[in-house]
Structure 1
Amino acid sequence: DMRFSFIGDVCGRCVVKPHESREHVRSVKIDRILTGRYTAIPAFLVIMGLVFWLTFGVIGAALQGLMEDGIAAIIASADAGLKAFGTNDVVRSLAVDGVLTGVGSVLTFLPIIVVLFLFLSILEDSGYMARVAFVMDKVLRRFGLSGRSFVPMLVGFGCTVPAIMSTRTLPSEHDRKMTVMLTPFMSCSAKLPVYGLLCGAFFPQATVPAMVSLYLIGIAVGCIAALVLNRTAFKGDPVPFIMELPNYRLPSVKTTVMLAWDKAKDFITKAFTIIFAATVVIWFLQTFDIRFNVVADQSQSLLAGLGSIIAPVLTPLGFGDWRASTALVTGLIAKESVISTLTVLLGATSPAALSTMFSPFTAYVFLVFTLLYPPCVAAIGAVKSELGARYAVAVFAFQVTVAWIVAFVVHSAGMLLGLA
């Protein structure tokens, strides 16, 4: 006390403090709301709700629609051109149904990726993201993570690929690897069409509660997985979280555009090649049988044979039909492929057609498995790009295992309660 009293006395007589800047005064006033004890979380939910609404419901959705129309026109023109040229049907199918359709389905997400990162870059450059990390640090530290991990996990509700890419900003390898392992459990927007289809078909009076329950299951499983990983593979505490909160400022247009372009370029160069190769493989498996003859019936294809091999593993979950397992396999390319595969194999996706394969309860278990197993090969490719092949395999195996266990628990609980 004597030492610090002496220091205080000397500083009081010798140190001249400058006047507080207007920027700092303004920042302090704003922080009373954005980092307040009772207002920080509600303010964050409002801001991020606005960002996601503009990205997935207004600007990004409109641009995605234009991109889809443009790609559809290009595919139709290419198909017509190949037909007029007299190209072999198999080669035409490879070019149109395999390469162009597969690559085009990925490119349609590019506008959403760019718009989302534009908004996140604005929030980051304005100084708000530093406040978000500060607010969430206390909550996430209980699960072995620091506050910085919250932003990638939040982005994961939109798309897992940029979410995993954004973990490179985390300063600690412990936090980064933990976040990469947990982010895929956050339900990405590509799964929404699958939720909407099956919930609308089997739970028409409770579609919204059924879909909300899936999001809550994903968050709960992520929290449990974080606790387990923090006590096993990633023992140790997260790094101390000390950071200076910068004054709020108007975002730089140049910086914002450069950050968004950097993420978009990574998405195109890293995910594009993986999707390209994977779509060609899926097309090949759907088109040929074991003797490499073109099949007239999908049930005779190599893909159906692969589905039949996987089906016994899924039988304890209540959906051991090869068509369900085949849809899950194609869903690794993109979750929307689950719907297209079921449409091809069932002839339609009406409630009557789906009821030949699912009951309401097994449909819900199928949705739980779809929620938790790997989002897509692009996400696994992003893990490989960030952490290497060993971690990509580990994330894939970890997610499949957790998805099977949770789906089995839900199915077993339903059997005990008489829901099956």
Structure 2
Amino acid sequence: MQKPTHTEAQLRSVKIDFYLTHKFYAIPIFIIIMGLVFWLTFDVIGAFLSDILSDVIDAVTASVDNTLTVLDIAPSMHSLIIDGIFSGVGAVLSFLPTIVTLFFFLSMLEDSGYMARVAFVMDKMLRKIGLSGSSFVPMFIGFGCSVPAIMASRTLASERDRKMTIMLTPFMSCSAKLPIYGMFIAAFFPHSGGLVMLSLYLTGICVAVLSGFLLNSLVFRGKPVPFVMELPAYRLPTARNIIMHMWEKAKDFLHKAFTVIFLVSIIVWFLQNFDVRFYMVDASDSVIASIGKLAAPIFAPLGFGSWQATTSLICGITAKEVVISTLSVLAVGSGGAPDLASLFSPLTAYTFLVFCLLYPPCVAALATIRRELNSDTSTLCLMGYELVVAWCVAFIVRQIGLMLGFS
């Protein structure tokens, strides 16, 4: 009888897995690793590169501004180009390095085999809310984009698990929200960006878990299907895979910046400068201000009841990056930069981020949910639920902040 032999890689994987899949150590290690990733992205590498790109965009904007002035372009067209297009699109583009940096680290974790371990560890936690570890894969994809994440739920064997996963995935913070986080972190939390990011991602996960308990108890009663997976050996990430992953994210971001965000920035500029009779007016008397003022009282208890903040959230349904482009057009301060301090305090800025994290995803994701669930009623109910959850969690966060003495 011959004993089976194990390769050196397999033995090394077993030793590492003792810690990374340990029932006590695994989750704290995962939180520490993600905290390190966010710190490097938002406080060190990504922030540094974004600042450089922002300076380049500011220089180009100033050059175009001077050129338009020399050419004596009509004031309205001048404003459209600088205050509308350059402010809207430029504010979003400056966060491209941050997004690429984050996905560089996430690609390394995935390519190394670590994320397979996280799925294995999460199986036990997910089973408590009525799902299996197989649901972790679509939900993890949701950290990149909700659309492919929702479509990835098709691979789940159980229809019950598939529907639950679709409904919980939007609570995972997609990459389209990164420019929102980046701008507010730079304005209000420049020295604690990694901690703020980690808290937002954990908040999304916790809300998904609590929602899972609710759905499992009231709507989708039953047991999840068994979860079986083979853990691959650890390996060094390949440069080709990492570069391809980063390029896909950058390409998608640039495509959205020069299509959806470009068009919405122009529309927002027009709505900001004209009233219903198409007369040029002050921004506070414009069409978009009228819309924002109607909805503003809903958000007043959350601390950001200004029409500018409300309008940015409404426009953000088209694409989450539009929240930033809208604020950049509506809240222009001295030098053309967004004056967020006039609309938010540090506490209300964080509350605003929590609401952006949890409220309904973009129209592309909603259309995908509608197609996968094959029900208008279920999609509308999900949107309503997400709005209520986002408002309630943001309200609780603000009340806790006020009790702790923050402002």
Is TM > 0.5 for Structure 1 vs Structure 2?
yes
CA contact (8 A) 1:178 1:229 kept: no
Give the root-mean-square deviation of aligned CA atoms.
4.4
1:383 pairs with 2:365: yes
Q: What is the TM-score when the length of structure 2 is the normalising length?
A: 0.74
Quickly say closer, same or farther: Cα 1:229–1:83, change in 2 above 3 A: farther
* Corresponding residue for residue 323 of structure 2: 334
Q: Residue 83 of structure 1: which of 69, 90, 94 is its match?
A: 69
Which shows bigger deviation, 248-257 or 169-178? Answer: 169-178
Question: What is the Cα deviation at residue 39 of structure 1?
Answer: 2.1
Relative to structure 1, the CA distance from residue 282 to residue 31 in structure 2 (aligned partners, 3 Å threshold; closer, same or farther) is same
User: Is 1:39 paired with 2:25?
Assistant: yes
Of residues 123, 126, 149, the one that matches 2:109 is 123
One-letter amino acid matched to 2:5: H
Please point out which of 11, 15, 28 is paired with 1:25.
11
Q: Name which of 180, 185, 210 aligns with 1:190.
A: 180
Classify the secondary structure of the residue corresponding to 2:323.
Answer: coil
DSSP-derived class of the 1:83 partner? helix
Answer yes or no: is 1:305 the counterpart of 2:290. Answer: yes
Which of 370, 377, 390 does residue 403 from structure 1 map onto? 390
Distance 1:199 1:20 in 2: 49
Residue 94 (str. 1) matches residue 94 (str. 2):
no
Instruction: Say yes or no: does 1:177 pair with 2:166.
Output: yes
Are 2:372 and 1:372 aligned?
no
The answer for the alignment partner of 1:9 in structure 2 is: none
**Partner SS state of residue 334, structure 1:** helix
Identity %: 42
Shift in CA distance, 183/397, structure 1 to aligned 2, threshold 3 Å: same
Does the 8 Å CA contact 1:327/1:337 hold for their aligned counterparts?
Answer: yes
User: Relative to 1, partners in 2 of residues 1:259 and 1:48: Cα closer, same or farther, differing over 3 Å?
Assistant: same
Runs of 5+ unmatched residues, structure 1: 1-11, 201-207, 416-420
For 2:278, what is the secondary structure of its paired residue? coil
- 1:321: Cα distance to partner? 5.8
In structure 2, relative to structure 1, the CA distance for the partners of 1:242 and 1:213 (3 Å cut) is closer
Q: Specify the SS of the correspondent of 2:209.
A: helix
Kindly tell me: are residues 94 and 394 of structure 1, through their superposed partners in 2, closer, same or farther at Cα, counting changes over 3 Å? farther
Compared CA separation, residues 374 and 341, structure 1 to 2 (3 A): farther
Residues 385 and 174 of structure 1, relative CA distance in 2, 3 Å threshold? same
Which structure has more relative contact order (CA 8 Å, sep 6+)? It is 2
Check 1:168–1:48 CA distance in 2 against 1; reply closer, same or farther (3 A cut). farther
Distance 1:217 1:24, change over 3 A: closer
Number of equivalences: 384
Is contact 1:161-1:267 (8 Å) kept? no
* Separation in structure 2 between the aligned mates of residue 414 and residue 48 of structure 1, nearest angstrom: 24
Question: In the alignment, does 2:256 pair up with 1:279?
Answer: no
Task: Give the 5 Å matches for 1:245-324.
Answer: 245-270=231-256, 272-295=258-281, 297-314=282-299, 322=307
> Could you tell me which amino acid in structure 1 is paired with residue 296 of structure 2?
A
Could you tell me the TM-score, scaled by structure 1's length? 0.72
CA distance in 2, matches of 1:384, 1:82: 40
| Cα offsets for 1:298-331 (capped at 9, x unmatched) | 2211122112222354467687665664465466
The answer to whether the aligner puts 1:71 opposite 2:54 as a matched pair is no
Q: Is the 8 A contact 2:119 2:137 kept in 1?
A: yes
Give, in whole Å, the separation in 1 of the partners of 2:168 and 2:379: 13
Give how far 1:273 is off: 2.1
Q: Unpaired runs of 5+ in structure 2?
A: 157-161, 403-407
One-letter identity of the residue aligned with 1:30: I
Q: Which has the larger radius of gyration?
A: 1
